[in-house]
Structure 1
Amino acid sequence: MNDIAVQTDERAAVLAVIDGVYGAWANNDADALAANFDADASSVTPGWPGAGREAVRARFAAAFAGPWQGSRVVDEPSTVRFLNPDTAIVVGRSAVQLPGKSETEPPVLGTWVIARPSGQWLVHAFHSCAA
Structure 2
Amino acid sequence: MNAHDTAAITAVLDRLTAAWAAGDGAAYGAEFTEDATYITYVGTLYRGAQEIGSAHQALFDGFLKGTRLAHEVVSVRFTGPGTALVVTRGDVHKGKPGGLHKIQTYTLARRPDGTWKVAAFQNTKHRAVMEAISFKFQPTTRPAAT
Q: What TM-score bracket applies, with the shorter chain setting the length?
A: 0.7 to 0.9
Higher strand fraction (1 or 2): 1
Q: Which runs of 5+ in 2 are unaligned?
A: 127-146
1:107 maps to 101
CA distance in 1, matches of 2:97, 2:88: 19
Note the aligned Cα RMSD (angstroms): 1.5
CA distance in 1, matches of 2:110, 2:23: 26
TM-score under structure 2 length normalisation: 0.79
User: What do residues 45-84 of structure 1 show as CA deviations (whole Å, max 9, x unaligned)?
Assistant: 1231111111101110111111111111110011000012
Identity %: 31
User: Residues 56, 105 of structure 1: CA spacing in aligned structure 2 closer, same or farther, 3 A cutoff?
Assistant: farther
**Which structure 2 residues correspond to residues 1-131 of structure 1 after superposition, within 5 A?**
7-47=2-42, 48-98=44-94, 101-104=95-98, 107-119=101-113, 120-131=115-126
TM-score under structure 1 length normalisation: 0.88
Q: Which has the larger radius of gyration?
A: 2
SS of residue in 2 equivalent to 1:102: coil
Q: Which runs of 4+ in 1 moved over 4 A?
A: none
